[in-house]
Chains A and B, each alone.
Chain A
Amino acid sequence: MGLGLVESGKMPKPLSKLLNLSRSYSMWVYQWGLACCALEMGAAFGAPRYDVMRLGVIPFPASPRQADLVVISGTVTDKMAPAIKRLYEQMPDPKYVISMGSCANCGGPYWDSYSVTKGVDQIIPVDVYVPGCPPRPEALLEGVVLLQQRIKDEDIGARWRGEPIVVE
């Protein structure tokens, strides 16, 4: 039932709403913690105070092949960039990326360094940018909530066909 409807683009609205809702509340987050933002991500995801599991997001997948969301937190260097690209390619569709912290957004305080990639969106497509240096755990949780809203408004057919995601 499901796949034929998605491919032909004739997915009925209630069904697509239900699927989007269930997808957004059952995400598995792979924490790609590189630098200082990894601590705030650890506090947001693993610590009891800023618990992310109450949003339905489980932060403990065993490998990137079992994750739908990756949070890239910390400075991306030119030496590390191929590993990030390979990680992104390992994730199965539909996959989402949250870029956390100003180093991953745009190079951050190291914008003029000779060994830093100025922003992870030079390598992989990013869905949500969370600014801050480091962003508070609550800011990261807001980023996750924002992503969940976007997923709820998504058109599954368009995503399957590979069309660019439109943000209203």
Chain B
Amino acid sequence: MSSSDTPDTDVTEAEAVEVDELREGVVARLREVLGDGVVEHHIVPNCDVWIRIRPDAWQAAASSVRYTLGARQFGFLSAIDWQPSPWRRYMDSEVDKAVHGDEPKPLPEMTTGYAGGETRFQVFARVANIIEHWGVTLKVDAGDTDPAVDTWTKVYAGADWHERETWEMFGVRFEGHPFLRNIYLPSGFEGNPLRKDYPLLSRFTKPWPGIVDVEPMPGTDEEPSSEEGA
């Protein structure tokens, strides 16, 4: 059940839509402060809320969500590369053939997730209000070729290390960060590993050895077939 901005509510579905008042209130309060800095939102009722922010309102969103909405607990900050990987799972095991068929399928189109998105790279962050017991995931578009967003370190000091990690894994620059440098990878490492066009070379040089050990699903008496546990 999504209550996004685009009006597409079915008449029959409208009767079954639950209204999550707590999270609707969160979105409304954020919209009050940021105006049209809030681009889109998506609520899964009694579960979670996703809000997409306009790129130039990213830092303002951080301060609003911390001071006005009271979400003082910092969760994490990272990025998603929405372009589908050109190599999928690097192999044709029996499970892949059973699911996708034998012929090589064309690469799917790039689609984004909840609360939309227009560019290939998206930075997302999670903060929580531990007094009212809700958490929100904020997303922002970072760009297609040279992704960059503002830094959150002036509002949440803990974002420092998360932004360093996102920088080295995706190549997303954070404007205003004190010192972006490697945190996990050795200093001579070339490339941004978590981008979808960064290949796992071991999977090219050595194919998957195949099914070694098979267990049937609990509760069934079937013989383990070659489609299990690929």
Question: Which A residues contact B (CB, under 8 angstroms)?
Answer: 78-79, 107, 111-115, 118
Chain A contacts for B185, CB-based, 8 A = 79, 115
Name the 4 nearest CB pairs between A and B, nearest first.
A112-B202, A79-B186, A112-B200, A112-B203
A114 close to B186 (CB less than 8 A):
no
A107 to B200, CA, bound (A): 14
Chain B contacts for A115, CB-based, 8 A = 184-185, 193
Shortest beta-carbon distance, A85 to chain B, in Å? 14
Chain B residues 165-213 with CB under 8 Å of chain A are: 184-186, 193, 198, 200-203, 206
Question: Which B residues contact A (CB, under 8 angstroms)?
Answer: 184-186, 193, 198, 200-203, 206
B204 nearest CB neighbor, chain A only: A112
A111 to B201, CA, bound (A): 10
Q: List 9 A-B contacts (CB under 8 A).
A: A78-B186, A107-B202, A112-B200, A112-B203, A113-B200, A113-B202, A114-B198, A115-B193, A118-B202
B186, B198, B202: the one contacting A111 at CB < 8 Å is: B202
A112 to B186, CA, bound (A): 18
A114 close to B193 (CB less than 8 A):
yes
Please report the number of residue pairs spanning A and B whose Cβ atoms sit closer than 8 angstroms: 19
Chain B contacts for A107, CB-based, 8 A = 202
A77 nearest CB neighbor, chain B only: B186
Shortest beta-carbon distance, B137 to chain A, in Å? 27
Tell me what chain B mostly uses at the interface: helix, strand, loop, or mixed: loop
Chain A contacts for B193, CB-based, 8 A = 114-115
Chain A contacts for B202, CB-based, 8 A = 107, 111-113, 118
Chain A contacts for B200, CB-based, 8 A = 112-114
A114 to B184, CA, bound (A): 12
Shortest beta-carbon distance, B5 to chain A, in Å? 39
B198 nearest CB neighbor, chain A only: A114
B202 nearest CB neighbor, chain A only: A112
Shortest beta-carbon distance, B162 to chain A, in Å? 19
Chain B contacts for A111, CB-based, 8 A = 202, 206
A107 nearest CB neighbor, chain B only: B202
Chain A contacts for B206, CB-based, 8 A = 111
A115 to B186, CA, bound (A): 9
A84 to B169, CA, bound (A): 26
B203 nearest CB neighbor, chain A only: A112
Shortest beta-carbon distance, A12 to chain B, in Å? 49
Shortest beta-carbon distance, B166 to chain A, in Å? 17
A107 to B205, CA, bound (A): 14
Chain B contacts for A79, CB-based, 8 A = 185-186
Chain B contacts for A112, CB-based, 8 A = 200, 202-203
A118 to B206, CA, bound (A): 12
Shortest beta-carbon distance, B190 to chain A, in Å? 11
Most buried by B among A78, A113, A114, A115: A114
Chain A contacts for B198, CB-based, 8 A = 114
Shortest beta-carbon distance, A131 to chain B, in Å? 14
A112 to B200, CA, bound (A): 6
A109 to B153, CA, bound (A): 36
A107 to B206, CA, bound (A): 13
Shortest beta-carbon distance, B28 to chain A, in Å? 44
Shortest beta-carbon distance, B138 to chain A, in Å? 29
Shortest beta-carbon distance, B98 to chain A, in Å? 22
A79 to B183, CA, bound (A): 11
Shortest beta-carbon distance, B203 to chain A, in Å? 5
Chain B contacts for A118, CB-based, 8 A = 202
Shortest beta-carbon distance, B87 to chain A, in Å? 12
Chain A contacts for B186, CB-based, 8 A = 78-79
Shortest beta-carbon distance, B191 to chain A, in Å? 8
